[in-house]
Chain A
């Protein structure tokens, strides 16, 4: 019990340290550059306390729940020895966590608005909604595919750079032929897919797999799943832009 309290205090101190820069930046710009007082100061202070407590609980929960679970599942899949089951899990995890991602929902809605604005699709509610939904499915499938490729790479022990650089070259080639209006949305979609809960789980899965498979080094082979998940959405959305034509 005592060590639990000490551990929590240490995590709280770390959380406060992590929040220091953002507090300083906002205070500096508010008071020195914009020269305005803080609106609702007590609300802001309560908010900061919540953020610190939340961060502390989150990190504690990672250590107790998400990390061990990701590793245990990697271990169980390796013992089961079914490649299909593992790849199906990787796809489901990528697809399932992305399809409901709030940041992605926001970006695809904006993208639909941009497309309607430029006159590529009809500016009716229904058309825009279906455009946004198709874009969301595209991105979710791309993240599922990313985890499948990433997990397969860990199993085979391929060096990551060839795959990622190959992906970059594909992005460059597609950028040249894709409609320019989709490019900004495509490049951004790579960043919005990886949420705060997915990242630890996927990282633990990768590291877990690289630990149990003989001949793999967790430090070299375990990371990289997130990298695929930020690259494939760009490729898929560029292709989406080309296929949707009209552009």
Chain B
């Protein structure tokens, strides 16, 4: 019974989220474009699936993963757990489990992120299969993992956020300069795509938990910034992944040429 109430409330939340989008689409379809979209029935059914699916997805997360993830973030950052470290929580390396958790949870939530699944499906369509969907998603996930772990390190050490992000931008600019034209827009997109439904709540809980445990940190000032890390690092990792596959391709071609000679 309680579950049923949860389901209904999550579904009504999703419907409310979708309502402005549907309203905008409807207004432009009827008053500006003035024609019916093709296969209207199918599109409507698709929308119903999306709302139902996202609703179920969110209830499941609320029931299972979010409470656990948030409790875990709280427990791993609790003074008792950290105080058991070598230096009683005074040094950055007392927090190794937190970096490990940040890395693992960043990776895992990204793989489950529906928006990233959507973009990689589209990328596969458009590139005629030249872009490897799983490879792209793994590259993004590794980027988020490294980003969140480094972000946790930043909160622990209390170093300045802009330095990290600006250094990240510089690396992205250097990589862009060498990257192939096809991957650049997709890499830039991946930063915004990763931080959606699954990733944001869990890493926000991690950031707030960490900042409120550490004595000299203010949760409201130092708790921010993890999402920024999670948006910049995937850009780097996707560009790096593209360079890596291009490099391997070149090595293979050279090996084949040498074989022929």
Contacts and interface: CB of A to CB of B under 8 A. Distances in A.
Interface in A150-198: 159-161, 164-165, 168, 171-172, 175, 181, 183-185, 187-188, 190-198
B65 A230 contact: no
Interface in B11-41: 13, 16-21, 23-25, 27-29, 32-33, 35, 37-39
Highest count of chain A CB atoms <10 Å: which of B21, B47, B194: B21
Interface in B82-116: 97, 101, 104-105, 107-109, 111-112, 114-115
Nearest to B33: A76
Contacts of A28: 104
A67 B220 CA distance: 39
A171 B111 contact: no
A227 B51 CA distance: 25
B124 to A, nearest CB: 11
A51 B114 CA distance: 11
Interface in A16-69: 18-22, 24-26, 28-30, 33-34, 36, 38, 43-69
B68 interface: yes
A209 interface: no
Given A192-B195, A199-B196, A219-B126, A48 B64 contact: yes
B240 interface: no
Nearest to B173: A165
Contact of B25 (A69, A159, A161, A181): A69
B122 A67 contact: yes
A22 B108 contact: yes
A179 B83 CA distance: 34
A247 interface: no
Contacts of B42: 64-65, 68
Interface stretch (B53-61, B241-249, B251-259): B53-61
Contact of B220 (A77, A97, A113, A207): A113
Interface in B63-91: 63-65, 68-69, 72, 75-76, 81
A50 B63 CA distance: 9
Nearest to B228: A187
A242 interface: no
Contacts of A34: 72, 75-76, 81
Contacts of B122: 67, 200, 203-204, 207
B5 interface: no
Contacts of B121: 59, 62-63
A191 B195 contact: yes
A241 interface: no
A240 interface: no
Contact of A54 (B39, B55, B126, B195): B55
Contacts of B46: 60-66, 68-69
Contact of A195 (B56, B176, B196, B224): B196
Contacts of A18: 111-112, 117
Contact of B60 (A36, A48, A96, A207): A48
A137 interface: no
A73 interface: yes
A21 B112 contact: yes
A51 B181 contact: no
B169 interface: yes
Given A47-B64, A191-B230, 5 more contacts: A25-B101, A25-B108, A190-B227, A195-B115, A223-B123
27 contacts: A25-B107, A29-B101, A46-B3, A54-B54, A55-B53, A58-B53, A59-B117, A61-B45, A62-B46, A64-B43, A64-B49, A69-B37, A69-B43, A80-B33, A85-B28, A92-B28, A110-B220, A114-B220, A117-B220, A172-B166, A172-B169, A190-B231, A192-B195, A196-B197, A222-B126, A229-B192, A230-B231
Closest 3 pairs between A and B when the two form their complex, measured CB to CB? A65-B46, A47-B64, A61-B49
